[in-house]
Structure 1
Amino acid sequence: MWRTRIAGAVLLAGAVTGLAAGPAQAQEYRYWSFWQGKGSSWAYATEGPATMRPADGAVAGFRFAVSADSAAAGKPRTAAGFDAICHGTPAKDGRKRVGIVIDFGTATDAPGGERPPKPRTQCAQVAEDASAGEALAAVARPLRYDSRALLCAIAGYPEAGCAEQVEGAKEPASSAAPSSGAAADGRDAGGGGDASGAGAGGPSAGLVGGVAAVVVLGAAAVWQARRRRG
């Protein structure tokens, strides 16, 4: 009997995982994602550029792409090397240097009628307490936002649109779309890396997996307790 219930729990966990992952796979959005340099590689940012305050010598990356959720977002294609970006910018007292990498994405990801500029790197020299968003604003204007203070364009790209669902996606766009969350001028657009509050494009694999594990392990614990009593 208890073995039957455990098997049922396993099936339920699988169903939870499948149902939760489905919408994220069905919807794809075009948006700016936000990254932190880790040596020469990239890690998805854990908070938005409006609240993250990088130290002197840090590198912040922004990538424009189409993806279903933050876990699938493309990384900047330029290495996150601070020395290569800021070697020509001498240090100054009371200021910090932040390497900025901007990857405008591919022609495939570009909105209709637009062509992405070439990737670029710049060294932002800003106040010691400046956010990553303020560092971006120092080197990549004009920036464009929507009514939610969501970062829609960097250096004028793209000309229109903001984290919109791409054509052909199966589900209607909703507030669950990945956000570029990059209120780069200091306005808080939400937390997270989808260049801001990313990850909003669907439940994270870790969360779904955790739910599944709780269901299965809980059922196993009950079965073991019954077995000891027997």
Structure 2
Amino acid sequence: MTPVRRAATLLVAALVLLLPATAAHATGYRYWSFWERSGGHWTYATQGPSMVRPDDGAVQGFRFAVSADSADATRPRGTADFTTICADTPAKAGTKRVALVLDFGTAADAPSGERPPARRTACARLAPDATSADAVAAVAKPLRYDTNALLCAIAGYPRQGCGEQVSADREPEAAAPGGHGADGGSGGGPSLGLPVGVGVVAVLAGAAVWQARRRRDDSV
């Protein structure tokens, strides 16, 4: 077997061995993620809802799903714009309006024995200094928090559990009715396991090719 062919064989073997192991150990956390919408795109909030004080006209979202981390978090589905959501809530002096998208996720993300409610939107009328936590409390009680002030349930869903670790190996979710959201995505963030695995394989391949070239040069 030539050095180059030996390097290619090593690359294939590393890929076969590494990728199944990466998938088998995939885990995530079941929780409500918090999003802010700007320019037609959802952005993962950098602060918790109790710290954010949205302006009048803001659009914010909450999504329940199993995610590995913020880079893998699943966005709220469907379209979302302030004019549509707050069409029946006229402006009023001394208050502000915040449009909310509440996406309770899919059956694949639901805790055992529970069924997610349908996605819904709401317009919260609030005092000027109100927070995003105040906004969701105004339209989606009961809320449930844990001892660390982590938001565990919106509108009573889920009935139990809070940020528990679960297997992230599940079937891809179906697109929301009406197609993809305005951000062009299908609601899911990129998986982290596969790029990491491919990166490691690339390093192994580089080492194998370098070794093959060195042996070939030494033989000249």
Q: Does TM, normalized by the shorter one, top 0.5? A: yes
Asked if 2 retains the 8 angstrom alpha-carbon contact of 1:38 and 1:80, the reply is: no
Structure 2 distance, partners of 1:73, 1:145, is 20
Structure 2's unaligned 5+ residue stretches are 1-21, 170-191, 193-220
State the aligned residue count. 148
Q: Give 3-state SS (helix, strand or coil) of 1:47's partner.
A: coil
Alignment of 1:140-219 (within 5 A): 140-167=140-167
Q: Does 1:95 align with 2:110?
A: no
Q: Is the 8 A contact 1:27 1:68 kept in 2?
A: yes
Change (3 A) 1:168 1:120: closer
Partner of residue 72, structure 1? 72
**How many Å separate the matches in 1 of 2:41 and 2:78?**
9
| TM-score of the superposed pair, with normalisation by structure 1 | 0.61
CA contact (8 A) 1:42 1:80 kept: no
Aligned to 1:41: 41
For residue 105 of structure 1, what is the amino acid of its counterpart? G
Cα distance, 1:78 vs structure 2: 2.5
Q: Deviations over 1:19-38 (max 9, x none)?
A: xxx9xx74311000000011
Q: Please give the per-residue CA displacement for 1:59-82, whole angstroms capped at 9, x wherever unaligned.
A: 110000001111101100022311
SS in 1 for 2:46: coil
Q: In the alignment, which residue of structure 2 is the partner of 1:108?
A: 108
TM-score normalized by structure 2?
0.64
- The Cα shift of 1:39 comes to 3.1
Give the equivalent residue in structure 1 for 2:63: 63
- Matched with 2:120 is 120
The answer (yes or no) to whether the contact 1:57–1:97 under 8 Å persists in 2 is yes
Secondary structure of the corresponding residue to residue 53 of structure 1: coil
1:67-98, CA deviations, whole angstroms, 9 ceiling, x for partnerless residues?
11111011000223111100110001110000
> For residue 29 of structure 1, what is the aligned residue in structure 2?
29
What are the Cα deviations for residues 174-198 of structure 1, in whole angstroms up to 9, with x where unaligned?
A: xxxxxxxxxxxxxxxxxxxxxxxxx
Q: Tell me how large the CA RMSD over aligned residues is.
A: 2.0
Residue 149 (structure 1) shift: 1.4
Q: Is the 8 A contact 1:63 1:105 kept in 2?
A: yes
Structure 1, 63-72 or 35-44: larger mean CA deviation: 35-44
List structure 1 runs of 4+ shifted beyond 4 angstroms. none
Q: Is the 8 A contact 2:29 2:164 kept in 1?
A: yes
8 Å CA contact 2:26, 2:168 repeated in 1? no
Output the CA distance in 2 between the equivalents of 1:142 and 1:103.
16
Work out which of the two has the higher radius of gyration on C-alpha atoms and give 1 or 2: 2
> What is the 5 A alignment of 1:130-149?
130-149=130-149
Aligned partners of 1:39, 1:128: CA distance in 2, in Å?
23
Paired residues of 2:26 and 2:167 also in contact (CA < 8 A): no
1:147 and 1:49 map into 2 onto residues whose CA distance is 16
5+ long unaligned stretches in structure 1: 1-21, 170-201, 203-230
Q: CA deviation at 1:147?
A: 1.3
SS in 2 for 1:72: coil
User: Matches of 1:66 and 1:168 in 2, distance apart?
Assistant: 6
